[in-house]
Structure 1
Amino acid sequence: MKHSTTNQRTRRGRGPARRIGRTLALVLPVVLVLSGTLAVTRVNWSGNPSNSVLTASEATSSDVSTRAVSRAPQDVLRDKLLLELQEKNPGVALTHLQEAMNGRPSLAKHCVSIARALGRAAVRAYGPTRAQSFARPVCDTAFASGVAATHF
């Protein structure tokens, strides 16, 4: 039996580009369906208007002016954690700070200033020794430095 090499052709399109294309053809629809499903779960389906967003026609002029003075997310988080520090304890506030940093990495650049503010508030509320006992490795040692800065 004779094997001829002159009539053999290489099959084009069987390389890595075709495999990548097939993988995308299978994975992309799944990703799109899942992202659509997640988007639908964020919609308020309960019919409770207290959590729903106002449309432009429903908003009054006082609502618009109130929303125009919206605060930065880091300021809202700082105030929430300071209130939590007063109502509960600094340990709970630091745990929620860490969760907020994990949940919204965009706030990470404000972590040190928020933790220092919590440290200063902890000294005012609990005294320097007890405030230091709540220290955690959140945002390096910013909480501890806030305690130390207020104490000394």
Structure 2
Amino acid sequence: MTQTAARRIGRTLALVLPVVLVLSGTLAVTSVPWANRSTESQMLTASSENVSVRAASRAPHEVLREKLLTDLQQKDPGVALTNLQRAVEGRPSLARHCMAIARDLGRAAVARYGPTRAQSFSRPVCDTSFAAGVSQQAQGN
């Protein structure tokens, strides 16, 4: 076999082999028993009947908010803000709720400590939203 014939065979395989692999993989996936639409819908229906009401859980940011408000009441706002910052660093998906939670902590701090003392706990967590919550609550009182 000459070198040009080997190259020609190599090029042909390089073009044909990926197509064959993709098609055979697609056919294999569509022929498995669990790909049947009617079976899938029956399984989903059966599992949805057994779901209890208690299984509906609260969103992670709501759980975090309650935990931090408890920290604020039992310890102080500084501990709650530190825990908020650590929670957001550990779970970045909570970042979009950070400002609202920090603002709620600021409001709760004013209710517990008064505006002057609450402001002393202020930190640059979540764009100074804690300070904004303190300010809003202080203006409301």
> What TM-score do you get using the length of structure 2 for normalisation?
0.62
2:86 aligns to what?
99
Q: State the shift of 1:67 in Å.
A: 1.4
1:5-44 mapped onto 2 (5 Å cutoff): none
Partner of 1:77: 64
Shift of 1:65: 1.7
* Residue 112 of structure 1 pairs with residue 80 of structure 2: no
Query: Which AA in structure 2 matches 1:144?
Result: A
Partner of 2:133: 146
How many positions carry a matched residue from both structures? 90
For 1:119-130, list aligned pairs within 5 A. Answer: 119-130=106-117
Structure 1 unmatched runs, 5+: 1-60
State the one-letter code of the partner of 1:65: V
Which of 58, 61, 67 is 2:55 aligned to?
67
Higher helix share: 2
The DSSP-based 3-state class of the residue aligned with 1:138 is coil
Distance apart, 1:85 and its partner CA: 0.3
In structure 2, stretches of 5+ residues that fail to align are 1-49
Q: Distance in 2 between matches of 1:144 and 1:65?
A: 38
Taking only aligned residues, the RMSD between alpha carbons, in angstroms, comes to 1.2
Query: Partners of 1:144 and 1:110 in 2: how far apart?
Result: 16
**Largest Rg, 1 or 2:** 2
Deviation for aligned residue 1:149: 0.3
| Structure-2 separation of matches of 1:133 and 1:116 | 15
- Tell me which amino acid in the other structure corresponds to 1:84: D
Q: After the TM superposition, which segments of 4 or more aligned residues of structure 1 sit over 3 Å from their partners?
A: none
